[in-house]
Amino acid sequence: MPSFLGYFGYPALDLHSLNEQVVHGIPSPEQALRPGDVISIDCGAILHGWNGDSALTVGVGEIDPADQAMLDACAASMWAGIAQAVAGNRLGDISHAVEKSVRASGDYGLIREYTGHGIGTEMHMDPVCQELRAARGRDRGCAPGWRWRSSR
Residue 65: phi, psi to the nearest 5?
-55, -35
Query: What are the pLDDT digits (tens) for 113-141?
Result: 777 788 889 888 887 776 665 545 556 66
On the question of pLDDT at 144 being above 80, the answer is no
Predicted structure pTM score = 0.80
pLDDT band for 95, please (50, 70, 90 cuts): confident
Paired strand residues for 51: 46
Query: What are the pLDDT digits (tens) for 1-32?
Result: 888 888 889 898 899 999 988 888 888 888 89
* CA 25, chain centre distance (Å): 13
pLDDT band for 64, please (50, 70, 90 cuts): very high
Three-state secondary-structure class, residue 137: coil
- Across residues 54-71, what is the average pLDDT? 95
> Per the omega criterion (within 30 degrees of 0), is the bond before 27 cis?
no
Three-state secondary-structure class, residue 65: helix
Average pLDDT, the chain: 85
Please list, in sequence order, all residues whose beta carbon lies within 8 angstroms of the beta carbon of residue 15, skipping any fewer than 6 positions away.
4, 23, 24, 25, 26, 27, 40, 41, 42, 43, 55
Position 127 scores a pLDDT of 78
pLDDT band for 152, please (50, 70, 90 cuts): very low
HEC secondary structure over 66-109: HHHHHHHHHHHHHHHHHHCCCCCCEHHHHHHHHHHHHHHHCCCC
